[in-house]
C-alpha cells in the first residue's frame, strides 16, 4: 500500500506537469487533452465515492451510469484551462485526504468498481495509480511509458495479464510491453515466434 500511494503522488506530479498545455489532441481516440484532464479530476471524485462507501458502509457507486460519466467528461472538457487545472488539484487533494481517513477495517470493505465487479477497498489506490500514470502518457506532452517507474510497469503488466483475455506473451523492453498491454502505441515487440504482435484495444 505504501508504495502504491507513492505511485499516486508520482503519477499526479507527472499529470500536473503535462496539464500546462491543454490545447491539442491526446493519444486517445476522440479525446483531446481537455477530455483527459476532465476525466482525471472526475475519476478522483468517483473513487472518492468508493472511499466513502468503504468508510460508511452505505453504497455509493463511482458513477450514476456510463452515460452520465461520459456526459460529465464532455461538459467538463469545456471548462477554462485554469479551472481544469485547479479542479484536478482539488480533486486529487480530496481523494488523498479521504483515503487517509480509512481504518484498517474499512480498507477491507467490499465495494464495486465502475464495471460492477466486487473488489476490496484496498484496490482503490491501485485504480488511481493506473489512471494518473497511464493518462500522464496519454496527455501527449512528452511523457512516455519509459518515464514511469519500473516497479509500477512490472505491476501493471502483471495486473493486465491477469485481467485481459488471451493476451499473448511478447518479447521486448518493459515500457513497450506495458504500452502494448494497455492498448497504446508501442514498438520493437515480437511474439514467442519472433513475429510482430497485433495491437490491442485500449483497456483504460
* Each residue's pLDDT tens digit, 131-145: 999 999 999 999 999
191 pLDDT band (50/70/90 cuts)? confident
Among 27, 28, 48, 32, CA closest to 127: 48
CA–CA–CA angle 67, 123, 204 (5° rounding): 45
Beta pairing partners, 110: 120
Domain boundaries in the chain? 2-143, 146-204
Q: Phi, psi at residue 39, to the nearest 5°?
A: -60, -40
Joined together, the cell numbers standing for residue 53 give: 462507501
Cα(157)–Cα(173) distance, rounded to whole angstroms?
A: 12
Cell numbers at 163, concatenated: 485481467
CA neighbours closer than 13 Å in the CB half-sphere of residue 133: 29
Give the residue among 156, 158, 165 at the shortest CA–CA distance from 184. 156
pLDDT digits (tens, 9 = 90+) for 83-113: 999 999 999 999 999 999 999 999 999 999 9
Containing 170, the helix (H) or strand (E) segment is strand 170-171
**pLDDT score recorded for residue 73:** 98
pLDDT digits 0-9 by tens, 37-63: 999 999 999 999 999 999 999 999 999
What is the predicted pLDDT for the residue at 186? Answer: 93
**What pTM value is reported for the model?**
0.95
Closest CA to 9 of 203, 38, 17: 17
Q: Tell me which of 121 and 115 has the higher pLDDT.
A: 121
Residue 168 has pLDDT above 90, yes or no: no
Homologous superfamily of domain range 2-143: dinb family like domain (1.20.120.450)
* Rounded-to-10 torsion of CA 116, 153, 7, 100: 30
Mean pLDDT of the chain: 95
Amino acid at each position: 500500500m505504501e508504495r502504491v500511494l507513492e505511485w499516486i503522488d508520482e503519477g499526479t506530479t507527472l499529470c500536473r506537469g503535462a496539464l500546462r498545455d491543454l490545447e491539442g489532441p491526446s493519444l486517445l481516440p476522440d479525446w483531446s487533452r481537455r477530455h483527459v484532464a476532465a476525466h482525471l479530476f472526475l475519476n478522483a471524485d468517483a473513487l472518492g465515492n468508493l472511499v466513502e462507501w468503504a468508510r460508511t458502509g452505505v453504497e455509493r457507486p463511482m458513477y450514476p451510469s456510463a452515460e452520465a460519466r461520459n456526459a460529465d467528461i464532455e461538459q467538463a472538457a469545456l471548462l477554462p484551462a485554469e479551472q481544469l487545472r485547479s479542479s484536478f488539484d482539488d480533486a486529487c487533494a480530496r481523494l488523498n485526504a479521504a483515503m487517509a481517513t480509512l481504518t484498517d477495517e474499512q480498507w477491507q470493505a467490499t465495494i464495486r468498481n465502475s464495471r460492477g465487479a466486487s473488489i476490496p477497498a484496498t484496490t482503490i489506490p491501485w485504480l488511481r495509480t493506473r489512471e494518473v500514470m497511464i493518462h500522464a502518457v496519454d496527455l501527449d506532452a512528452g511523457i512516455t511509458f519509459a518515464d514511469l517507474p519500473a516497479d509500477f510497469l512490472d505491476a501493471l503488466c502483471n495486473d493486465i495479464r491477469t485481467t485481459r483475455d488471451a493476451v499473448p506473451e511478447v518479447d521486448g523492453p518493459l515500457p513497450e510491453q506495458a504500452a502494448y498491454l494497455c492498448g497504446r502505441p508501442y514498438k520493437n515487440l515480437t511474439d514467442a515466434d519472433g513475429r510482430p504482435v497485433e495491437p490491442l484495444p485500449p483497456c483504460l
